[in-house]
Structure 1
Amino acid sequence: MKSLVLSSPGRIELKDLPIPTLSPGKVLVKMKAVALNRRDDWIREGKYPNIKFGGILGSDGAGVVEQVFDEADKSWVGSEVIINPNIDWGPDPEVQSSKYSVLGMPVNGTFAEYISVSLDRIHRKPAHLDFLQAAALPLGGLTAYRALFRKGGLHTGQNVLITGFGGGVAQFAFLFAKAAGANVYVSSGSDEKIEKALKLGAKGAYNYRKQVNFEELWKTKGGFDLVIDSAGGDQLNNFIKVLRPLGKIVFYGATNGLPAKIDLYRMFWNQLSLIGTTMGNDQEFVDMIAFVEKHQLRPMVDSIRPFSKMVESFPDITKSNKVGKIVFQI
């Protein structure tokens, strides 16, 4: 089977590998589509722990169950499924266990024509999504769902600011918050993305390269109840300024690094919360799929490419002009 492997530091390549042999509790899924995440490129660059050379990358994907090990599970054969990339979250729904990892490193991932996964990792594909859309959903959708609802406590009518619109998690946060009845605002460094967000129903959209005075957001919109961010850095203090009392900043990354300082005075006086989050537990994955089905949401797909173009497509994940996921048809 064709598989995308990390062959050496910084080097990825498509290789022919044997189709996995099943063991008890496992199922074989013939992949129909997979999606690229920044995580995949960071693994290529060696920025994740427990790197295993020769391992198959990929956390997102959808396909059809072709074979099961256990006779009791044969009803799954032929089912269209998406894959939960969580591995060993553990018993505490609030925080992952010390054994936690994500599909695609060190455990072999989705970037292959076939994958062997535990039966409890597969879920019925939402009927309103095709394989390409479904493949874009797992990692970004789960991260956004937990950030908004478990960590952010989002409810109808709140003002929400989602930074970095166009990225994988941010697009799901936008779709989910809008479906939940929030007043959704976005920031981006691209006028094209700003225009896209407004067409999709954003209440407001701001180019942070041009509108650096976040005080104006407070004056015109009355402040935000929740900010969803992945960049971190010194802009955290801008978000603190525009939060309403009891407001929350939920962040799932820190691509801009650490802030030089944090406005603790404003934080304690306004009783604000700065909350970290990563991925989500298995029940949240189930709840996320149900939410997508209930609201008939469709992931934004930036481009669809053949699986044979994966290696040359990796640099595109870092480009700022895309809106939605890069998806590959197998």
Structure 2
Amino acid sequence: MKAVLLTGYGGLEKLEYREDIPVPRPGRDEVLIRVGAAGVNNTDLWTREGVYGTEDDPQATGGWRRGEQMEFPRIQGMDIVGRIIAVGDGVPKSRIGERVIVDFVLRCGEGEEGLINAALIGSERDGGFAEYVAVPAENAIAIDAPLSDEELATFPTAYLTAEHMLNRARVVGGETVFVTGASGGVGSALLQLARLRGARVLALVGEGKEDGARELGAEGVISRGVSDLSSTVAGITGGHPVDVVADVVGGETFSDLLRVLKPLGRYVTAGAIAGPMVQLDLRTLYLKHLELIGSTIGTRKEFVDMIGYIEEGKVQPLLAGTYPLSEIKRAQEDFRSKSFFGKLVLVP
């Protein structure tokens, strides 16, 4: 089959497109999926580059599970949509032919506890940057939606991550949520899902992407790089501070984001695309009684909830570009450029 092998930590040269990879065979309680489309994520790039570090050494080379090394070669790709074409022992043959979207998280238990030390399809197990992939049957979730495979592949990682962030931060209707990186996959998902809860949403985006955020329901849009973020936000909100900051950017904006929060406000993060090392004035944290909340991936219930939103038409796909699998390097270069709004998808 056609597939892309990640042969080690490093640059794009570590991605090897091949057409002679054996088709995997589904083991017990597994299914074999013919991949229709697979989304591109920041995790793919960070995992390839090995930039997750460790708690002891932030500069250490390593994979998504901090302190553990990946096994190579590995087929990446977490956002998988396709059809089941074969099943292993223990799986009803009636599942053959099902259109499925893959829950990419291999949890260690139920609820939030199951996310600690969880593994990922596409990281600790081969993923969807291939024509076929074998996954646990329970992770292949049937979906009934009129959307294309490419459109469906924009949802899994971004929307599961965003839903978990909002749940961790306890966002409810009537609150004001400030979303950074709002033109990316997780950011645009946060906009839609926060609005779905009845929250008021403000968005921080790169220049030229303001209209896209407004179309998703952002009531206030700020271009990245403004000289005084706090004053700009106050001007939009009429001086009322923000209840929740949902951040996937990090970097130099971190301390500014804490300043826009109201006392007893909540800051939740699931990414650091502008840099993981930040400066924190502890006085801002303790004098305002703020909460700092870490969040990553999500629970099975949240994944099922996401599928419900899709099937009911409550969220819209933001497909910014489609690439053949053989052009994965160009897709990842374009992904890093951040010149698009939404998600990029590979088609094997």
Classify the TM-score, shorter chain.
over 0.9
Following superposition, the deviation at residue 258 of structure 1 comes to: 2.3
Map 1:150-189 onto structure 2 (within 5 A): 150-189=167-206
Following superposition, the deviation at residue 228 of structure 1 comes to: 0.6
Partner of 1:107: 125
**Paired letter, 1:212:** D
Following superposition, the deviation at residue 96 of structure 1 comes to: 2.0
Give the Cα–Cα distance (whole angstroms) in 1 for the partners of residues 295 and 91 of structure 2.
37
Pick aligned residue for 1:276 from 283, 294, 315? 294
Following superposition, the deviation at residue 2 of structure 1 comes to: 0.4
- Please, which runs of 5 or more residues in structure 1 have no aligned partner? none
Give the Cα–Cα distance (whole angstroms) in 2 for the partners of residues 261 and 9 of structure 1.
31
Give the Cα–Cα distance (whole angstroms) in 2 for the partners of residues 46 and 271 of structure 1.
35
Give the Cα–Cα distance (whole angstroms) in 1 for the partners of residues 287 and 71 of structure 2.
47
**Paired letter, 1:67:** A
Identity across matched positions, percent: 30
Give the Cα–Cα distance (whole angstroms) in 2 for the partners of residues 92 and 213 of structure 1.
36
Compare 25-34 and 302-311 and name the one that shifted more.
Answer: 302-311
Partner of 1:300: 318
1:142 matches 2:145:
no
Partner of 2:45: 41
Give the Cα–Cα distance (whole angstroms) in 1 for the partners of residues 115 and 145 of structure 2.
30
Partner of 1:291: 309
Question: 3-state DSSP class of the match of 1:33?
Answer: strand
Partner of 2:221: 205
Map 1:78-97 onto structure 2 (within 5 A): 78-94=97-113, 96-97=115-116
RMSD: 1.8
Count residues in correspondence: 326
Following superposition, the deviation at residue 204 of structure 1 comes to: 0.7
Question: 3-state DSSP class of the match of 1:214?
Answer: helix
Partner of 2:267: 249
1:225-272: CA deviation from partner (whole Å, max 9, x where unpaired) = 11110222342221222112321110012332322332x333333322
Question: 3-state DSSP class of the match of 1:187?
Answer: strand
Give the Cα–Cα distance (whole angstroms) in 1 for the partners of residues 144 and 171 of structure 2.
24
Give the Cα–Cα distance (whole angstroms) in 1 for the partners of residues 323 and 72 of structure 2.
25
**Paired letter, 1:14:** Y
| Distance change (3 Å), C-alpha of 1:273 and 1:9 | closer
Question: 3-state DSSP class of the match of 2:283?
Answer: helix
Following superposition, the deviation at residue 127 of structure 1 comes to: 1.1
Give the Cα–Cα distance (whole angstroms) in 2 for the partners of residues 308 and 108 of structure 1.
17
1:63 matches 2:57:
no
Pick aligned residue for 2:278 from 229, 248, 259? 259
Following superposition, the deviation at residue 92 of structure 1 comes to: 4.6
Any conservation in 2 of the 1:234–1:261 contact (CA below 8 Å)?
no
Any conservation in 1 of the 2:37–2:346 contact (CA below 8 Å)?
yes
Question: 3-state DSSP class of the match of 1:141?
Answer: helix
1:229 matches 2:247:
yes
**Paired letter, 2:334:** D
- What is the TM-score when the length of structure 2 is the normalising length? 0.88
Any conservation in 1 of the 2:201–2:218 contact (CA below 8 Å)?
yes
1:14 matches 2:17:
yes
Following superposition, the deviation at residue 301 of structure 1 comes to: 0.9
Any conservation in 2 of the 1:125–1:134 contact (CA below 8 Å)?
no
Question: 3-state DSSP class of the match of 1:154?
Answer: coil
Following superposition, the deviation at residue 14 of structure 1 comes to: 1.2
- Please, which runs of 5 or more residues in structure 2 have no aligned partner? 52-61, 64-68
**Paired letter, 1:202:** A
Following superposition, the deviation at residue 178 of structure 1 comes to: 1.7
1:135-181: CA deviation from partner (whole Å, max 9, x where unpaired) = 11111111000001x21111112111100121111111111112222
Question: 3-state DSSP class of the match of 1:313?
Answer: helix
Following superposition, the deviation at residue 294 of structure 1 comes to: 3.5
